[in-house]
Amino acid sequence: MEEEICRDLPLVLSSFVDTFVDFSVSGLFLPQSSNPHPNPNPNSSSDTDPLPSSPQLATRYPAPDRLIAVGDLHGDLQKSKEALRLAALIDPSDRWTGGAATVVQIGDVLDRGGDELKILYFLEKLKREAEKSGGTIITMNGNHEIMNVEGDFRFVTQAGLDEFRVWADWFCIGNAMKSLCDGLEKPKDPFVGIPLKFLGVKEELYHSIRCRIAALRPDGPISVRFLSQNQTVLVVGDSVFVHGGLLPKHVFYGLERINEEVRDWINGLKGRFSPGYLRGRHSVVWLRKFSHELAQNCDCSTLEHVLATIPGAKRMIMGHTIQETGINGACGNRAIRIDVGMSKGCINGLPEVLEIIGNSELRVLTSNPSYRDRLEADRKGGLGLLLPEHGPRQVEVKA
């Protein structure tokens, strides 16, 4: 009798198990679709499907009424939530309150902290809630996402290793539960092909490293579910988003082409190593030509050329390079730098986010109390553009 029920409802059982594993790892209730979209790789080792609605990656979006840009998060869930609350995107119970707003998270969720998976799951939860309210959350790949898919764990913390070890334990329990059902295909072992030991690594770390590789390598359950859904380059209205920066050769190669190729690589369709435009200091996720803290050291002429080749583009918004003075503009505010190093694993900076109203008004929303007096003066003066180029900061302060 039990076997008959199991054969009749294999997808329901699989969905239940996945939801159980998700809750055990993240503490969030994220029901899985009982009619999952198949992984595009037919030989996949991943049994976890992407978001229930898995649209083709879009590279260009029309300008929303309200656009919020969030910088690098680096494994710090508390600071991530603080940043979202600055823009009134979530309430004290962490539920979406952003209405029809569009949010872009510029990448680098991974590394330097111990809440990497919790942030990935939390952003997935918010994506679902935002969609029901007409809002949109877009997540992007930074250099640290690319590094981890390639198995480069130089910036991983012990807490980060522990979090992925816990994930792997629950994931394997879920696979064992699925294997008891005759109506389900036997789950694939996520550890297939991963070495048992690593040169120069302490023996007590072997298992945790194997767990992280299993989760994040091309075609890994976590990389497929979360990172393959990320854009690498993005145009929203008249704003271009990229983690490091774009050069003319990247635009000539094709923004849509970059997004699709990166997605295919993460899904295990393009081999082990990332495309060349993701590697090296002139790559889209590593470039710093427009992010130097001294605005006069930025390559503004190249930036102008790049923007001129993207129809309607007025500015490039980037993360990657920490701005200790906070979110700021360079090159006549054509380069907007939004990585404030908010994670405790970076410089523990005060959270800030960028807000764009329509295609015109830009302002910084900050938790820094030192800007309150300046804010009041700006309000009395009726100033419109609220994004300084390394001058006095004119900002909206949120308590």
**pLDDT tens digits along 69-82:** 999 999 999 999 99
Residue 395 has pLDDT above 50, yes or no: no
Token pair listed for 375: 């804010």
- Euclidean distance between CA atoms 96 and 133, whole angstroms: 9
Tell me the average pLDDT across 158-177.
97
pLDDT band at 49 (very low <50, low <70, confident <90, very high): very low
Catalytic residues: 144
The reported pLDDT for the residue numbered 10 is 77
Rounded-to-10 torsion of CA 190, 195, 197, 198: -110
pLDDT of residue 391: 35
pLDDT value at 371 more than 70: no
- Written as one letter, the residue type at 248 is P
Average pLDDT on 161-174 reads 97
88 or 1: which carries more pLDDT confidence? 88
Between the alpha carbon of residue 287 and those of residues 239, 244, 331, the distances in Å are 18, 5, 16
- Beta-carbon neighbour count of residue 347 at 10 Å? 12
Is residue 366 over pLDDT 80? yes
* pLDDT reported for residue 19: 95
Identify the weakest region by mean pLDDT among 117-131, 272-286, 291-305: 291-305
pLDDT at 381 over 50: no
Provide the 8-state DSSP code for 70: E
- Positive or negative: CA dihedral 137, 138, 143, 145: positive
> What whole-number distance in Å separates Cα of residue 211 and Cα of residue 217?
10
Helices (H), the chain: 2-8, 10-26, 77-86, 116-132, 143-149, 158-179, 206-216, 221-225, 248-253, 255-266, 300-308, 372-381
Mean pLDDT of 376-396: 42
Asked if residues 155 and 141 have their Cβ atoms less than 8 Å apart, the reply is no
Rounded CA gap, 76 and 58, in Å?
28
The length of the chain is 399
pLDDT 10s digits, 185-207: 889 999 999 999 999 999 999 99
The DSSP bridge partners found for residue 364 are 354
Given this model, what pLDDT does residue 181 score?
82
How far apart (Å, rounded) are the C-alpha atoms in residues 90 and 93?
8
Residue 390 has pLDDT above 60, yes or no: no
* Whole-number pLDDT of residue 192: 97
- As given in the structure block, the two tokens for residue 281 are 């200091």
Question: Which whole-number Å values give the CA distances from 58 to 90, 255, 283, 306, 397, in the listed order?
Answer: 25, 10, 21, 20, 33
pTM of the model: 0.88
Percent of the chain exceeding pLDDT 70 equals 85
